[in-house]
A = this chain, B = another copy of it.
Amino acid sequence: MRRNIERLAARADRLGAALRPHMKTAKSLDVAALLHHGTPCPVTVSTLAEAEAFADGGYTVITYAGGIDPHKLPRVVALLRRGITLRILLDSTEQAEFVVEASRQAGLPIPAQIEIDCDGHRGGLKPDAPTLVDVGRILHDAGCLDGVLTHAGESYFAYTGEEQRLAAKNERDTAGAAAERLRAAGLPMATVSIGSTPTAHTAEDLTGVTELRAGNYVFFDLVMAGIGVCCIEDIALSVVVTVIGHRPEYGWIVTDGGWMAMSRDRGTALQAQDQGYGLVTDLDGTLIPDLVLTAASQEHGTLTIRDGARLPDLPVGTRLRILPNHACATAAQHHGYHVIDNIRTTNTAPAIQDIWQRVTGW
């Protein structure tokens, strides 16, 4: 995890963009403390519960990167009143109008970014959308306009480095085009924010971008390894399971870790190599070749071997680790993290050095 954090921090430095890590994956103040040498840095969050927890932890510059819903504005205002620079996100005149109204009622401007759609992934306005300048002007006139934000969500499906570089260039160009159009209309842009784990690791030039966001990269996972953004050895999150049985007639080893522990995420199903519900390592983190968690019920996992290799001899009680398809989803099935160090550098099972809690709920 430390290596993953350092890698992207160095990259953002080289590219001249401020890194604003997305806490949606780790949801942990302890992980966040490693991002910037123990001092709070600007962060991105996926829920107001995260925003509130990070504010409580001393983080004062926070982007809440989900389209705003009017019901949530009282909690936004409460955070602003605590002195938190909380930026929210929106993509419609409808939202801009209720944000301005809430700002007026609260007597303070709510800083807002306009979500830009760069790849048809989910929300946002295209840079040539008829309403883009209207949204900008409504916000600007009330002192609420902060900038633009986009997310190349489709880059998770960019299966080669070249496709990822193109996605990164497109993400930058699209955010830049939207910012230019708004500036040309007399609307100043403090922030031009882009990011996703694949594009953050492949972008070659971030001219015009002020901020880079990524979240998954602190842990990485099999989906990211499958598209070459990391190696399997970089994956810093695993779930410990225990062998509870064997079905030699089916070629199964049965464990006590099912989808409750791993999540139902099957993100590698569409990749060149489907990794089932995860790959298996020893307790010390050494990959057991060709052993895959191929089936999961609530509290049971079934391990099988690929390509006719021989099932390893793993007696009942053997502890193993499962590397997840999708770190965000797997981490979310747990209250926190058992922290270990020096994995893969000793021959003994690593000791749990700490327990880090996750922020949960909304």
Contacts and interface: CB of A to CB of B under 8 A. Distances in A.
B69 A317 contact: yes
A10 to B, nearest CB: 26
A247 B260 CA distance: 33
Interface residues of A, number: 57
B66 A316 contact: no
Contact of A123 (B92, B153, B300): B300
Tell me what chain A mostly uses at the interface: helix, strand, loop, or mixed.
loop
Nearest to A70: B317
Contacts of A315: 94
A7 to B, nearest CB: 23
A122 B297 contact: yes
Given A69-B316, A316-B69, A360-B335, A123 B247 contact: yes
Q: Considering residues A122, A252, A299, which has the most beta carbons from chain B within 10 angstroms of its beta carbon?
A: A122
A69 B123 contact: no
A100 to B, nearest CB: 14
Contacts of A123: 244-245, 247, 254, 300
A332 B333 contact: yes
Interface string A330-353: 001111000000000000000000
Interface in A65-81: 66-71
Nearest to A318: B69
Contacts of A326: 264
A317 B243 CA distance: 47
A333 B94 CA distance: 30
Given A69-B316, A70-B317, A91-B245, 9 more contacts: A46-B299, A67-B254, A69-B242, A71-B319, A94-B315, A95-B245, A122-B295, A123-B244, A123-B245
